[in-house]
Amino acid sequence: MIYLKTDEEIELLRENNILVSETLAEVGRHIAPGVTTKELDKIAEDFIRSHGAVPAFLGYEGYPASLCISVNEQIVHGIPSSKCVLKEGDIVSVDCGTFMKGFVGDSAYTFAVGEIAEEVRQLLDVTKEALYKGTAQAKAGNRVGDISAAVQEYAEHFGYGVVRELEGHGLGRKMHEDPGVPNYGARGRGPLLKEGMVICIEPMINMGTKAVVFERDGWTVRTKDRKPAAHFEFAVAIRKDGPDVLTDFSIIEKTLKN
């Protein structure tokens, strides 16, 4: 069941997604060699609560933290840990959710820790660009498959593996609503996009094989070949005049030094 949102509901979703962007910016400011992912989780939780929201991930299907923090070969759903210490050259995907005023915000950004290898920088740039290519297809009259195909085509052009096991989703009063938004697929297929739909598009792109392993902690998903993976996610409303991105990566990016 796909829930279409009113203009007022879309503004509440925007408020949440802007808070997620601000939280990711605050986390990003603290990303440095020697910092633990547990410390970053605490920063995010305090920030979210001090802005009148609650962390949407905490307790979701038993999830034990406010952020998912996935380092290097971890793709998504890494659990923050005091044993996970960031080091120069790592990449760290931070996924954050908020809940306030009855609606959810959900977005992810992959950060570099200090200087990273040129080929890893390309993986980040291409994954983010794949998100933008998908977003350009998020308009009324298109189908979900138009988004999926645009993401897949762009990432595979660089020889990267597009993760199949996880996908984007509708966003609203619940974090995961219909429709599912895969990062692979065929143009012209899948659910029709309509004005008032709000979806999260979230390419998960591997430098090597698309194959994944689900770790025994019940959450962490990593690449089978242990090569790095990137994850960028934001929320998009389908409006009369085209895609309306409810998240604002520029809030994050103006804090980045590299």
Residues forming contacts to Co ion in the complex (CB under 5 A) are 106, 200
Residue with tokens 């902690």: 217
| CA-to-CA separations, 168 to 30, 54, 149, 174, in angstroms, rounded | 27, 22, 13, 13
Q: Is 243 in the site for ligand MF3 (CB under 6 A)?
A: no
| Distance of closest approach, residue 98 Cβ to ligand MF3, in angstroms | 11
In the region spanning residues 218 to 237, those forming contacts with ligand MF3, defined by CB under 6 A, are 233
Q: State the number of binding residues for ligand MF3 (CB under 6 A).
A: 12
The entry of ligand MF3, Co ion, none near residue 63 (CB within 5 to 8 angstroms by kind) is ligand MF3
| Cα gap 70→58, rounded to integer Å | 16
Q: Is 15 in the site for ligand MF3 (CB under 6 A)?
A: no
**For ligand MF3, which residue of 8, 61, 118, 241 counts as binding (CB under 6 A)?**
61
CB neighbour burial string for 217-254, b if at least 16 within 10 angstroms, e if fewer: eebbbbbeeebbbbbbbbbbbbbeeebbbbbbbebbee
Q: Is 68 in the site for ligand MF3 (CB under 6 A)?
A: yes
**For ligand MF3, which residue of 63, 99, 184, 234 counts as binding (CB under 6 A)?**
63
**For ligand MF3, which residue of 77, 139, 210, 222 counts as binding (CB under 6 A)?**
77
CB neighbour burial string for 83-108, b if at least 16 within 10 angstroms, e if fewer: ebebeeebbbbbbbbbbbeebbbbbb
Cβ distance to ligand MF3 smaller for residue 150 or 201: 201
In the region spanning residues 195 to 214, those forming contacts with ligand MF3, defined by CB under 6 A, are 200, 202
The entry of Co ion, ligand MF3, none near residue 77 (CB within 5 to 8 angstroms by kind) is ligand MF3
Contacts of 165 (CB under 8 A, 6+ apart): 212, 221
| Distance of closest approach, residue 97 Cβ to Co ion, in angstroms | 8
The entry of Co ion, ligand MF3, none near residue 61 (CB within 5 to 8 angstroms by kind) is ligand MF3
Diameter of the chain by CA atoms?
A: 48
In the region spanning residues 92 to 111, those forming contacts with ligand MF3, defined by CB under 6 A, are 95, 97, 106
DSSP string, 97-149: EEEETTEEEEEEEEEE-SS--HHHHHHHHHHHHHHHHHHHT-SBTBBHHHHHH
Which residues of the shown chain bind ligand MF3 in the complex (CB under 6 A)? Answer: 57, 60-61, 63, 68, 77, 95, 97, 106, 200, 202, 233
